[in-house]
Structure 1
C-alpha cells in the first residue's frame, strides 16, 4: 500500500492542464476527481466538450495500461453503442502519452470522453435501472468474447478468484462477531466455492461495477455509463454480476431483489449458466469480505482517502444480512428471475405427484377427499371455522373446531397453501430478505383432526430426521421424510405438530413403505401450543434440512416459494375442487332442470349431489368431496380410465365417420367381442345404447320367428323406447304405465328368497319355469307361438335377483321347442362383472340366440351391441338395410377395444370374483348382527342386500333401505335401492374395486346400519 502511495501522481491542476494541451491539443478547465491510486481530472474544453484525463499510477505496469487502452479501443469498434468511455487519440499517435512527475516518476496519460449521468449510489436504484445495468454488463461480456490481452492476466486482491486472501487480513477486524461472519464466508469459499468458480466460463471483466462507476440517465430509466476500467481483468464471467450486485445491494431494503434484477438483465443479453447462478450468493459475500478486510487493513494508511471507506458501513450491513439468509433461497430467487425453476426439478416433482395421484396411498385412514371437509382460514378471524386463537388458547380453539364440525358435518379441517395469515406475529416471522416485511403466506397444508389421528406416508420414504422444536408456536415434533420415486427427482416432505411418540419409533435412515405409519397428530401440549393438526409441506429441494424449510414465506416471493414448496394438497389427497367451485350452484341447477328438462327426470338422493369429476372408483363433487362409487356400473373399469380416455382421444383426433366406409376398428372390435362369447354367437351389430340394442334384438327376432308374442319376467326393464316399455313390467305396471299389452306375457321373477317355503331349493328353477310352460301352452291353445323370451341374466331392477339353478336351461328349451328365440339382456351384468365368466348367462349353462349389451361396453362412452347366430343374421338380411349413424364408428370401436384390453390385461374378472366373495362374506356377517337384513346375494361385483321390516320399531323395509342409502351417501358411499318394494340395496362397483375400497364400503355400511337402527 505504501509503495502504491509513493507512486501516486501528484500533478497540480495547472500542470495537468498543460499536459492535456501538450499531448492532446485540448485547452480547457480541469477539476480533480477522487481516485484510489491514479489521478483523474474532469476536463471542460473551450469547445464545450467534456473529458476525463487519467494520469496513471507510476507503479502500474505498462502492459496493464496497454490492456485498458486496448480494451476501450476494442469496445469502441465491437460495441459502439455500449455506454463506456470512448478514447481520444493523443497527438503523438495512439491513445497513450507519457509525463514525468515528482521524483522522476514516469506516468502514462489517457484521455476519454466524459460519460454523462448520475452515479447509481445517488439514485433509488430502481428495478428498471438495475436490469439495464445487467444488460450493459451482459453486452460487455458479449462484446469482449474472443478479446484477449496479456495485461488482463492480473494478480490483484480485488480478483474474486483470490478472495480467500482476505483471511490474511482478518486480524485487522477488531469485532469478534464480525470476524466470525467473515470466517464463515471464507470457510464456504475455500470449502468448494472457489474450485467451482475456477471451472466456470471466463472472459474479460469490468470487475468494479460499483455504484459510483455506474451512471444513470437523466430520466432515471436506464444506465447511461459504465466507467473506470482500472480493475478490468480476465476472470470468471459471473464475477461481474456478483460485484455489481454487491454494491447495488448496499443499504437497499431488499438486496436480493437488486441482485435478481441485475442478473435478469444480464441473462437476457448474455445467458448465464445454472452453475454460475449457484455461485452468486457466495461471490457477492466474498466481494464484500474483500472490501471490508482491505478497508480494515488500510484504515490507518488511508485515513485521508474517503474513497476506500465510502462503502464499508453498508458492506458490513449487507454481510450481516447475507449471513442470516439461506443461500439456497437466495439462489432460488435468482433462478426464478432468469425464468428458470426455483430449484432444478421442481416442476418434475409437482408433475410426478399429479401424474401418480391415483396411486398414492391415503395420508389419513381414508383418502382425505373422502371426509366432509371445511376450510379453516387463519387469515379470517371472523370465519366460524377459524382457529386463529390457537396461539393463546389451543384447547379452546380445538373445542371451537369440534363444535363447528358438529354444526357443519365436517370431519376434516383444511388450512390451505398460500393463505395470507395475520397470526404470524413473532420475531421469527420477520423477513430476512426484505426490510420491514413479514412472512405471512402459508407454504404448507394444514389438516385439522383430533389429537392422536394416525398419519401415513402416501409414498415410500426414508426417514431423514425426527426432532423436537421446543419453541412456543414451533412445530413440536417435526419429522422429515425423503422420497425417491422411480422416474422422478427426489423430494422431501415435512410433517409438523406431530405427537412425540414418533421420537422413539422412527430413526434416521429407517425405510417406510407407502402406506406406513408416520405418526399421529399431537396434542397442544406437545405440538407447539396449537390446536391439533398436521402441517404438511413438500420441498423440491432435498438439500434443505427440516428446520430450514420455510413454513411461511414473503408474499413478494410466492412464485419462488410455490416452486420450492409445491402445494401439498395433491400429495395429501385433497381434491382441487375443494378450493374452487365452478358453474351453477346445486340449487340453481335443480331450479333450471325443473324449468328446462322433462319434469319426470329424477334426481338421486334426498340431498342431490353435483359431481364435477370422476376418477377410478371415486366421484368428486363440486365441493371437493370424493364419494366411493358402488352404484354406477356404466364406468365398468373406473371413471375416466386413462387407457380408455387415451384411445378415445387418439382416434377422435384422427378420424370418426360412419360404417358405410371401411375402417379396421369395427372389424377388429367385432372379432375381439365375439371371441368372448360362445362359438354359436358370431355376428355383431353396433348401436349407441342398451335400448337400441334391445330394439335391434326384437327386429332380429321378428325376422327369425315372425311372431310378436313376448314372454318376459315380472318387474323387468329393457329400455326407454315404447316397444321396450311395452315388454318392461317395471314400466307398464307402475304409475304412468298403460298396463300389459295383449302380446306380452309375464312370468314371475324366479326369486329363490321369496319362493314358497314348501318348494325344495333344488326345484326352484323347475318350479318357476312351470309358469313359462303355462304361457306357452296358453299361446298354443290360441294358435300362437312365442316369438321370444327375454330376461336379464340377473334381473337387476327386480332387486338383484339371481336365477335359481337350471331355470334358464328349462325356459330356453321350452321356448325353442315352441319356435321362439331366447334373448339374454346383459346390458347391466355383462363384460366379466360376475367374475367367474365373461357373461352372466354362462353361469346358467346356456347359450342365448341373441345377446344384447350396453352400459359397461364403452366405460361411459355411448355405445352398445347386439350379437347373434349366423342363422338369425341371415334371416335378418331380407333386403332392408341395417344402418346406425354412430354405431360401430372408429372412435367407439377404439373405446370398446380399450375396455377389453383393460379387463384382460388387469385380470379384472378375477378381481371381481375375489372382491365380490370378500364382500359377500362381510355382508353375511352383517346379516348375523342386523335382523333387518333378510338376504344377501351376489356374484362377482353385482351385489344386493334385501331388507325386511324392523320387528322392534315396525319400520317398513322400504324406509330402512332409503335411510341406509341416504346415510351411506352422507358418509361418502354411493349405492342404490331396487326391487318391487324398493327394499334391496343395490351395489355394482367398478371392476377395479380393491380390498381397501371393499373395507371402506363394509365399514360405512356397518356404521350406517347402526345409526339407522339406533
Structure 2
C-alpha cells in the first residue's frame, strides 16, 4: 500500500518569520493558510504588500522543486496575464531557499499573493465554473511549449496511476462503496487504458480543486499550488477540475459542462479526449476516496484530508448511474459541438435519401391518413388512461380518437413533453428531483399484429423482451451502415414477443425485410399497440440502458444522440407541425379574396405544402402519388431545375432588351430537338401566351382571320383563345362559337360512327375536314390557321388516328393556311417514342407552341416558328414580353432539356406507359365500366361508361373513382365533354413501383365505387 507523503511541515509562526527575514529580507505578519502537503503562510508587510510563503513537504525532491520553479518562470515569460503566483527571489537571487527543520531540510519559496477566497468557500456560480475552465485552458495552452525532466514522474495523483488504486481497496470497509470504486476502475481499464495512446499529453496543473481556485467579485481570480503539476494526458486537467466542481451539485454534469466549455473555448479538446472525460472524473474520484480511506487509518485527526470525502462518494455514486455517452454528449454540446461526432452527417444522409428508403410498413406511413396524438396533458383521456395504466380506458380513448378524426395511424412525435411516464425508472439520474419526460423516438400507433419492415439493410444487434409495466415489451436493436463509416442504429420497441424471438443476433436483413409485428397490451408494456422507433448515433453494448425518454434540459443533446427518426420513417416535418392556415380557413379566404370561378380539384379540397419527385404532400404530411399534374414534368422540385433557378436568380434576372447568354443557350439547345424548319423562337411565360402569339403570327402572315379548330379543343384562357376553344365557348358561361371559328369533328376512334380500321376512320374524318375547308374557301373565309393539340387532352385524351393530321395539314396548306401544333401538354417526350407528339404523325407544323412541362413548374413557354412567318410578323410593331425569355426561366428550361437526355426519360416514359396500359387493360377485363383504354407514353386516358355496348357516358362514376383514388393517396383527374375520361399524366421519372401503386389504387377505387 502506497504511503503518499511525509508529514506536513510544522514550523511555528516565529520560526517561519525568522526564515522569511533571513532568507528574503522581508518583515511582516504571518497567517496560516490551509494546505494538504505543504505549510503555507500569508505574509502581510507594513507597506501593504502581501505574499505567500510556502514551506514544502520534506518528501518533495529538489528536482521536483526545480521543475515547479521552471514552470512558473515559463508562465511568467509566456503569458504574463495568467493569474498564477510569481516567484520572488531570495535575498541572494535564488528562486527558493533551503532551511533546516527539527530533523529534515525543507525548501522555502516566496511568491506573489493572489487576492480572493477559495472557491470552496463560495457558491459555484455558472460563470465561475466557466471562468475556471477558461483559466485552465489558457494555462495549458501556455504550457504546451513547456517541457522539463522533473515533470515525468509517477505519483498517486497522476491519472495514469489509477489502476494502483486497487491496492488501496482493502482500506474501504463498506461493500457498496467498494463496488463503486471497482466499477470506476473497471471502466478505466476497459475504456481509458486503450485510449491513452490517442490522447495528447503535456504538463498540467493537475490539482484544480476548489481550494486552489481563488475567486473575487463573482469571478475566478487565480490558480495556486503547482505541487501536483505533472506530465500527463492534457484532458486530465479538465477531469480533475470537473471532479471538484461537481461535488455537492444537484446537476453535476451541467457543472462539469460549464468547466469543459470554458476550457474548450481557450484550448480546444479533441474527440478522443471528450470521450474519456467522465471516465477520468470517476478515476480521479476513485483515487481520492481510496487515498482518504488509507489516510483515515493513520491521520483521522486531520479534517483537511477528508473535507471532500462524503461529497466524493455521493458524486461517484451518481456518476456510476449516468450513461457516459449522454454525459459526453452534454459536454460536447456545451462546447458548441455535435453531441455525437457524425450526427449531422447521419441526419443529412437520411434527409437526402428519405424517398429512397423502403417503407417500414404497408402502406407506407407517408401515404396513410395520420393524426398526431397528445400525450402531454392529463386533460386528454388517452394520456390520463396511459399514465394510470388503465388499459381499457386507453383503448376506449384511442378508438374514440380514430372515430372522431378518421385516421389510419396515430403518431407520437419526437420531443413531446409527456405526462404518461409514471414508473420509478423514469426518475432522472442526471438531475436530482427531475423526471425523464421528453420522448426520444417516434411512436406509430397501429393495430396489434401490424408488420414492420426495415427501411434499409441492417444487422440484428439485440432482440430481447422487457416485460415490466411501462417498459418496451418486445425490443429489437438494428445496426445500419448504408455507406462506409456511416453507422447508426434503430431501436424498435413494444413488439410482439413471438416475432422478436424469430430474430437472431448477427442476422442480416435486407432493406424492406420483415422485422417484427406490433405487440398487444399484454406484450408491449401495457400501452395502446404501437411501435417506438428510435434512431441512435452512438454504439450501445446493452440495449436495456438505451433511454427512450430524456430530460427537458438536454433537448439539443437528444437531437444528436437520438435524432428525430422522421426521415427514416419517410415522414415530412408537416406531419407534425401544420404550416399556415387550415383548409377551411383557406377555402373561406379564397371566397373572400379570389374570383368565384377559380376552381378547386376534388369534392374535398387538398392543401398541398410540399412536392418531391412523384409525390405531393398535404398539410398533414400525407403523401399523394401525383399522376395528374403534368406541369411537374421531371417530378416536383427536381434538384437539377431547382439548382439552375437558384444559381441564375443569384446572378441575373432581366428582360430581353438586354443581351444575355442564357436565352441563346436555351434556344440553341431547343432547336436541336425540333425539326430544322422551326428555327425561330419567341420565349414567353405561359402556354396561353404562346398560343395567343401563334394565332397573331398566323393572321399577320396570311392576312386572314378565320381559324380551324377541333371540336372540344382548349387552347388557353385569353379571350382570343377562348374564341377558338369549343371546350370553353360551348359550355356554361360561354357565348357560343364566334363566326371566324370553324370546328372540325374530332376523330375519336372509340366513338367513331363508322366502323373500320383506325386508318379508315382517319380518312373519313380527313375527308370531312377537306369538305369543310373547301366550303370556307368557296365562301371567302379561307383559314388563317388550323390549331390543334396533337393529342386533344380536355376532349378526353383523344389519340388522333394515323394519317389524319398529315391529310388535314395538307388541306389547310393548300388553302393558304398555317398549321399550328399545340404541344403545350404533350411535348417534351411525354409520348415516350419521340420528343414531340407531332413527330409520330410524320408531319412538320409551321408553328409549334410549348408550355406546361417546359420549365418543370417555372412559368415558361415558347413559340417555335418557321423563319418566313416570323419575318412577316416583324411588320414594324414591336413585340415585347416583360418576363418572357428572362435568364432564370431560360435556365430552368435548359435544365429540363439536359435532364430529359441525361436520365433517358423518354425511354422511361415508353416503358412505364406501356406497363400501365397493360395493367389498366387487365382491369378493363374485370370492370365493364372501363369502356376504353388509350395512351402513349405517360399520357393516358380511361373512358368510363355505363354500358360498353351503348358507350353511354358515366361522368359521375369517373368522378367517384377519381375522388376515391384521392382518398387512397393517388391523384388523377377527369376530362372530356362529359368528364367521363380519367386522365393520367404522371411525371417522366415514374418508376415501376409507382406504376404498381397506381394500378393497385385504381383497382381498389374501381372496386369500392362499383361495389
1:345-744 aligned within 5 A: 345-383=342-380, 389=386, 392-394=389-391, 396-486=393-483, 489-543=486-540, 545-744=542-741
**Preserved contact between residue 387 and residue 420 of structure 2 (Cα < 8 Å):** no
Inter-partner Cα distance in structure 1 for 2:416 and 2:608 = 26
Give distance in 2, aligned partners of 1:613 and 1:2: 70
The Cα shift of 1:704 comes to 4.2
Q: Distance in 1 between matches of 2:841 and 2:468?
A: 71
Shift of the 623–30 alpha-carbon distance from structure 1 to 2, 3 Å rule, reads same
What SS does the aligned partner of 2:935 have?
A: strand
- In structure 2, the partner of 1:215 is 214
Q: Secondary structure at the match of 2:497?
A: coil
**Greater displacement, 866-875 / 823-832:** 866-875
CA gap of 1:893–1:499, structure 2 versus 1, over 3 A, is same
1:963-978 residue pairs with structure 2 within 5 A? 963-978=960-975
1:162 aligns with 2:161: yes
TM-score by length of 2: 0.94
1:91 is aligned to 2:91: yes
Inter-partner Cα distance in structure 2 for 1:975 and 1:259 = 59
Distance 1:308 1:415 in 2: 53
Q: Secondary structure at the match of 2:483?
A: coil
C-alpha distance in 1 between matches for 2:774 and 2:205: 109
Provide the C-alpha distance between the structure 1 equivalents of 2:753 and 2:743, rounded to a whole number of angstroms.
19
- Residues in 1 aligned to 2:96 and 2:118: alpha-carbon distance in whole angstroms: 27
What does 1:767-846 align with in structure 2 at a 5 Å threshold?
767-846=764-843
The one of 913, 932, 935 equivalent to 2:932 is: 935
The Cα offsets for residues 167-186 of structure 1, whole Å up to 9 and x where unpaired, read as 22222223344333323332
Structure 1 distance, partners of 2:117, 2:819, is 98
Contact 1:797 1:978 in 2 (8 A): yes
2:958 aligns with one of 956, 961, 968:
961
Partner of 1:55: 55
Query: Aligned with 1:542: secondary structure?
Result: coil
For 1:969 and 1:316, how far apart are their aligned partners in 2? 64
Three-state SS of the structure 2 residue aligned to 1:584 is coil
Are the equivalent residues in 2 in contact too, given 1:391–1:530 (CA < 8 A)? no
Higher mean C-alpha displacement, 752-761 vs 859-868: 752-761
Structure 1 residues 446-505: Cα deviation after superposition (integer angstroms, max 9, x where no partner): 111112222222223233232222333222222222222237722212221222343354
Taking a change above 3 Å as real, the CA distance of residues 944 and 400 of structure 1, as seen in their structure-2 partners, is farther
Deviations 1:187-220 (CA, angstroms, capped at 9, x unpaired) = 3333462353365333332221112222222x3x
Within 2, Cα distance between the matches of 1:3 and 1:696?
A: 101
Alpha-carbon distance in structure 1 between the residues aligned to 2:716 and 2:556: 55
User: SS state of the match for residue 187, structure 1?
Assistant: helix
Q: Which residue of the partner structure matches residue 253 of structure 1?
A: 250
1:331 maps onto 2:328 in alignment: yes
Corresponding residue for 1:36? 36
After superposition, the C-alpha distances for 1:42-79 in whole angstroms (9 at most, x for unaligned) are 44545555444332233322222333344344444544
Would you say the 8 A contact 1:391–1:529 is kept in 2? Answer: no
SS in 2 for 1:717: coil
- Pairing partner for 1:279 from 273, 276, 285: 276
User: What is the deviation of 1:330?
Assistant: 1.6
Return the offset for 1:881.
4.6
For residues 884 and 719 of structure 1, the distance between their equivalents in structure 2, rounded to whole angstroms, comes to: 18
Q: Quick one: distance in 1 between partners of 2:673 and 2:67?
A: 86
User: Cα deviations across residues 510-548 of structure 1 (Å, max 9, x unaligned)?
Assistant: 333333332322222222222111111111223565334
Residues 713 and 794, structure 2, Cα contact 8 Å, conserved in 1:
yes
Change (3 A) 1:385 1:949: farther
Q: Give the match's secondary structure for 1:481.
A: strand
- Separation in 2, partners of 1:626, 1:383: 28
Question: What is the CA distance between 1:394 and its match in structure 2?
Answer: 3.8
Query: What whole-Å deviation, never above 9, does each CA across 1:915-962 have from its counterpart, x for those lacking one?
Result: 2222223323333333333322222211222223489xx998232233
The answer on whether the counterparts of 2:382 and 2:394 sit within 8 Å (CA) in structure 1 is no
Q: How far is 1:703 from its partner?
A: 4.2
Structure-1-length-normalised TM-score: 0.94
Structure 1: which 5+ runs fail to align? none
How far apart, in 1, do the equivalents of 2:972 and 2:6 lie?
A: 96
Contact 1:496 1:535 in 2 (8 A): yes
**In the TM superposition, what is the alpha-carbon distance from 1:441 to its structure 2 partner?**
0.7
CA distance in 1, matches of 2:79, 2:678: 83
The alpha-carbon deviation at position 444 of structure 1 amounts to 0.7
Structure 2 residue ranges without an equivalent (≥5):
none
SS in 1 for 2:620: coil
Counterpart CA distance in 2 for 1:383 and 1:370 is 27
Further displaced range: 759-768 or 232-241: 759-768
Q: Using the alignment, how far apart are the partners of 1:924 and 1:384 within structure 2?
A: 50
* Cross-structure match for 1:1006: 1003
Maintained 8 Å contact 2:827/2:835:
yes
Aligned length: 1010
Contact 1:711 1:772 in 2 (8 A): no
Partner of 2:286: 289
Instruction: Report the equivalent of 2:174.
Output: 175
Structure 1 residues 832 and 257: CA distance shift in structure 2, 3 A: same
Of stretches 718-727 and 174-183 in structure 1, the one that deviates more from structure 2 is: 174-183
Distance 2:207 2:423 in 1: 40
1:912 to 909, 917, 927: 909
Cα deviation for residue 716 of structure 1 reads 0.8
Aligned counterparts of 2:326 and 2:261: Cα–Cα separation in 1: 17
Residue 224 of structure 1, CA deviation: 2.5
Structure 1 residue 880, shift from structure 2 partner: 4.7
Deviations 1:721-764 (CA, angstroms, capped at 9, x unpaired): 22211111111112222211222111222222222265666522
CA distance in 2, matches of 1:57, 1:590: 86
**Structure 1 residue 319, shift from structure 2 partner:** 1.8
Q: Cα deviations across residues 809-848 of structure 1 (Å, max 9, x unaligned)? A: 3322322333323222111111111222222223333332
Equivalent residue number for residue 151 of structure 2: 152
Contact persistence 1:836–1:940 (CA under 8 A):
yes
CA contact (8 A) 1:387 1:398 kept: no
Partner Cα distance (1:155, 1:816) in 2: 104
| More displaced stretch, 808-817 vs 124-133 | 808-817
Structure 1 residue 622 displacement after superposition: 2.4
2-structure distance, mates of 1:254, 1:336: 16
Change (3 A) 1:320 1:839: same
Q: Is the 8 A contact 1:707 1:786 kept in 2?
A: yes
Q: Equivalents in 2 of 1:287, 1:421: separation in Å?
A: 37
Q: For the aligned residues, what is the CA RMSD?
A: 2.8
**What's 2:116 paired with?**
117
Q: Helix, strand or coil: the match of 2:486? A: coil
Contact 1:395 1:524 in 2 (8 A): no
Tell whether the 8 Å contact from 2:758 to 2:802 is kept in structure 1 after alignment: no
CA contact (8 A) 1:390 1:397 kept: no
**CA–CA distance in structure 1, aligned partners of residues 27 and 889 of structure 2:** 92
